[in-house]
């Protein structure tokens, strides 16, 4: 029998808590640590995840077999390249392929080169003048800074004035010579399709929807995500077939043609437009909060999928999913995504029903106490064969949990429920 594995999950959010929870259910896991983890996870190892050399030394010393990376930064900084030759498997793309997320311009050029359905765009930088593009679209454009910006580098504009202000903001923040792109603004529902790939085949998990705006009705400022649900009914068979044909297959062809040895997650952020699905962005990692619903709905062993990606045998595996809908409502600190207070006492988690999941995002332990330590604090996840019942159960369960100035969106899954 194959030896059991020691795994390190890198990151500190709800996504990483969900990854550790799901991997921890595999009979093939010997030990699992989180670096740095949060108040809901253990054991946690306190290493700065920006320090790739320190991560490598720890993993070598602790005889880690597999590293699963949650956030994009270590991947874009080359953690996979840095571990090459150590014998430790790091699940994710090398630095060159991580540009699919790390550079919006690289990513759009890749989409264009391989015929992936996406919005038309033009690239700008230095002394380039975007006035003509902005005018010709009457300001209905999306301006995107080229580099990683933690979700803050994208400006969805409705007027020429807004578009000009977006360009000015990018120049002010990232320098006069900052590179950016401008693309046509699309309309439609968004869908997250997240798959595990070995570079040839892909096994997609259930299609999900995130809720990026802070307030009900998709109002207010953008956040890291206030809730998610899966499977999203908007992803009909026909829609999924079109996504396969016009987005996923051309992407896999591109990955192969570029010679990337890609064993990891690929996330397709898609808009369902009147003229078919269009790719808004790639991420090279699991989504947050999507992971908090797509992993509970996966019946198969996640570790089997990850190991198959390394072995190049993903095409032989057919993952199994629950028949139920899964809903995640995020409990956030008052003020988030703006300034908010921390160190609030969290109560009530022990009262949650046995089949309710609670993934921590921004929590920490101090002695016996569980305290808030971030803007997004907890993810409450419920499921049912009926989506509305899953949503209602989730909101009923949430009433058991409290911390000072806690808030959440009251309308998670509204698009699917037609509310």
Work out whether 193 is an interface residue with ligand AMP (CB under 6 A). Answer: no
Under rule CB under 6 A, how many of the chain's residues touch ligand GLY? 6
In the DSSP assignment, the letter for residue 222 is E
DSSP string, 77-126: TTHHHHHTTSS-EEEB--HHHHHHHH-HHHHHHHHHHTT--B--EEEE-T
The closest of 71, 76, 24, 74 to 54, measured between CA atoms, is: 74
In the DSSP assignment, the letter for residue 352 is S
Name the binder of 223 from ligand AMP, ligand GLY, none, CB < 5-8 A by kind: none
CA distances to 186, 369, 409, 418 from 414, in Å: 21, 35, 10, 6
- Kind of pairing, strands 357-360 and 264-273? unpaired
Write the binding mask 271 to 290 for ligand GLY: x where contact by CB under 6 A, - elsewhere: ------------x---xx-x
The closest of 255, 326, 314 to 284, measured between CA atoms, is: 255
Work out whether 13 is an interface residue with ligand GLY (CB under 6 A). Answer: no
The closest of 141, 118, 146 to 130, measured between CA atoms, is: 141
Name the binder of 55 from ligand AMP, ligand GLY, none, CB < 5-8 A by kind: none
Quick one: CA dihedral 12, 105, 251, 245, positive or negative?
positive
Work out whether 280 is an interface residue with ligand AMP (CB under 6 A). Answer: yes
∠ Cα 145 336 69 (to 5°): 60
Among 40, 93, 225, 227, binds ligand GLY (CB under 6 A): 225
Work out whether 185 is an interface residue with ligand AMP (CB under 6 A). Answer: yes
Complex with ligand AMP: residue 98 or 142, whichever CB lies closer: 142
For the bound state, the minimum distance from the C-beta of residue 193 to ligand GLY, rounded and expressed in Å, comes to: 12
For the bound state, the minimum distance from the C-beta of residue 149 to ligand AMP, rounded and expressed in Å, comes to: 9
For the bound state, the minimum distance from the C-beta of residue 351 to ligand AMP, rounded and expressed in Å, comes to: 35
Among 162, 216, 258, 281, binds ligand AMP (CB under 6 A): 281
Work out whether 190 is an interface residue with ligand AMP (CB under 6 A). Answer: yes
For the bound state, the minimum distance from the C-beta of residue 270 to ligand GLY, rounded and expressed in Å, comes to: 12
User: Hey, which residues does 410 pair with through a beta bridge?
Assistant: none
Work out whether 142 is an interface residue with ligand AMP (CB under 6 A). Answer: yes
The closest of 158, 133, 157, 155 to 144, measured between CA atoms, is: 155
Under rule CB under 6 A, how many of the chain's residues touch ligand AMP? 12
Q: Which residues bind ligand GLY (CB under 6 A)?
A: 210, 225, 283, 287-288, 290
Q: Which residues bind ligand AMP (CB under 6 A)?
A: 119, 142, 144, 154, 156, 183, 185-186, 190, 269, 280-281
């Amino acid at each position: 029998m194959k030896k059991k594995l020691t795994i390190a999950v890198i990151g500190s959010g709800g996504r990483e808590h969900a990854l550790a929870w799901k991997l921890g259910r595999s009979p093939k896991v010997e030990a699992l640590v989180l670096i740095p983890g949060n108040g809901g996870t253990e054991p946690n190892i306190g290493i700065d995840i920006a320090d790739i050399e320190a991560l490598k030394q720890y993993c070598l010393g602790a005889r880690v077999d597999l590293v699963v990376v949650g956030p994009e930064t270590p991947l874009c900084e080359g953690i996979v390249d840095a571990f090459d030759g150590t014998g430790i498997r790091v699940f994710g793309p090398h630095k060159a392929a991580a540009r699919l997320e790390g550079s919006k311009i690289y990513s759009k050029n890749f989409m264009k080169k391989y015929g992936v359905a996406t919005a038309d765009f033009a690239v700008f930088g230095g002394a380039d003048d975007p006035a003509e593009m902005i005018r010709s679209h009457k300001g209905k454009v999306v301006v995107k800074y080229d580099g990683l910006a933690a979700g803050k580098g994208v400006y969805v504009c409705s007027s020429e004035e807004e578009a000009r202000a977006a360009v000015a903001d990018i120049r002010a923040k990232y320098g006069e010579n900052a590179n950016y792109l401008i693309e046509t603004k699309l309309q439609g529902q968004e869908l997250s399709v997240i798959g595990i790939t070995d570079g040839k085949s892909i096994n997609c998990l259930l299609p999900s929807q995130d809720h990026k705006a802070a307030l009900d009705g998709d109002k207010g400022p953008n956040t890291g995500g206030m809730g998610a649900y899966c499977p999203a009914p908007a992803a009909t068979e026909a829609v999924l077939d079109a996504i396969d044909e016009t987005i996923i297959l051309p992407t896999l062809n591109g990955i192969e043609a570029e010679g990337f040895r890609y064993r990891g997650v690929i996330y397709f952020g898609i808009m369902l437009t009147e003229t078919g699905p269009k790719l808004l962005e790639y991420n090279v990692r699991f989504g947050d909060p999507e992971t908090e619903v797509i992993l509970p709905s996966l019946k198969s062993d996640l570790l089997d999928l990850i190991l198959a990606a390394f072995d190049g045998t993903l095409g032989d595996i057919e993952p199994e999913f629950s028949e139920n809908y899964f809903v995640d409502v995020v409990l956030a600190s008052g003020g988030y995504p703006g300034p908010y207070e921390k160190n609030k006492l969290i109560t009530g988690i022990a009262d949650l029903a046995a089949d309710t999941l609670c993934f921590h995002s921004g929590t920490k332990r101090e002695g016996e106490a569980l305290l808030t330590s971030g803007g997004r604090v907890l993810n409450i996840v419920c499921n049912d064969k009926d989506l509305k019942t899953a949503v209602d159960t989730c909101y009923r369960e949430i009433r058991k949990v409290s911390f000072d100035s806690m808030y959440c969106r009251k309308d998670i899954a509204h698009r699917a429920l037609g509310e």
